[in-house]
Amino acid sequence: MWGQIKKDIQAVFERDPAARSVLEVILCYSGFHAIILHRIAHRCHGRGLNLLARLISQFNRFLTGIEIHPGARLGDGVFIDHGMGVVIGETAEVGNNVTMYQGVTLGGTGKEKGKRHPTIGNNVVISTGAKVLGNITIGDNVKIGAGSVVLRDVPANCTVVGVPGKVVVRNGRKIADAEVSAIDLRHDELPDPMAEMLLCLQRQVMRLQQRIEELEAVRDEHVPAQYADGAQGRIHSS
């Protein structure tokens, strides 16, 4: 457990430029507090001390605003930034070097028993307000955009945005390489498929408008001659 705590502290320094000292992290970071209290609750849960584990979990929620069920499994180097409103369900499994921001939910979709919460791979970034629901698997090196709702499995090395979440491939290259230092935290620079679709629609409307103007110009060139021919025909007939 001490080894996990060291990795959790190291994760804060790697992913939060505001962290200045180990003492500051230990005393002032609610995400770090939530993870430490959860590790204690999880050990109690594993030893059958379910009531004590839930009491620690409730105290954790009261202290940090982060709710993690004692049964959830967290890997090494998990970093919850700010974290207010984060909810992690009982059967959720979180891999190593995962980053979560405030308002993230790893939840279920019904009252089914057994595995009903998501499994998160390594080096995953889950942005503010994102919801990952159900017994689904999120692959390694995935980045989930803010406010996204993910209801299906996501392959490794992908970016997910939207409601419901859609996988967007970024130029055919991986989001993160095998190096630990390559964890991509730029969750503010995500492609927006809805915006791209609207942009394509706007371009199509502009092309149609231009074509209509061209056809109207051709019509205006021929309409006077037609009117003149019709008028001459009426004169001759009279």
The distance of Cα 86 from the centroid of its chain, to the nearest Å, equals: 13
- pTM (predicted TM-score): 0.67
DSSP three-state, residue 166: strand
Distance between CA atoms of residues 53 and 69, nearest Å: 9
pLDDT tier for residue 177 given thresholds of 50, 70 and 90? very low
Average pLDDT over residues 198-204: 80
User: Domains of the chain: which residue ranges?
Assistant: 2-189, 192-238
Nearest to 145, CA basis, from 134, 131, 156, 135: 131
pLDDT bracket for residue 193 (50, 70, 90):
low
- Please tell me the predicted confidence (pLDDT) of residue 181: 41
What are 29-60's pLDDT values in tens digits? 888 999 999 999 999 999 989 999 999 999 99
At the topology level, CATH places domain 2-189 in UDP N-Acetylglucosamine Acyltransferase; domain 1 (2.160.10)
For residue 11, give Cα distances in angstroms to 14, 18, 117, 229: 5, 13, 24, 84
Confidence of residue 223 (pLDDT cuts 50, 70, 90): low
Give the pLDDT of residue 5: 81
Note the pLDDT tens digit of each residue in 92-140.
999 999 999 989 999 888 777 788 999 999 999 998 889 999 899 998 8
Calculate the average pLDDT of the chain.
81
* Residues whose CB is less than 8 angstroms from the CB of residue 67 and which lie 6 or more positions away in sequence, other chains included: 57, 60, 61, 86, 87, 88
* pLDDT confidence tier of residue 194, bands split at 50, 70 and 90: low
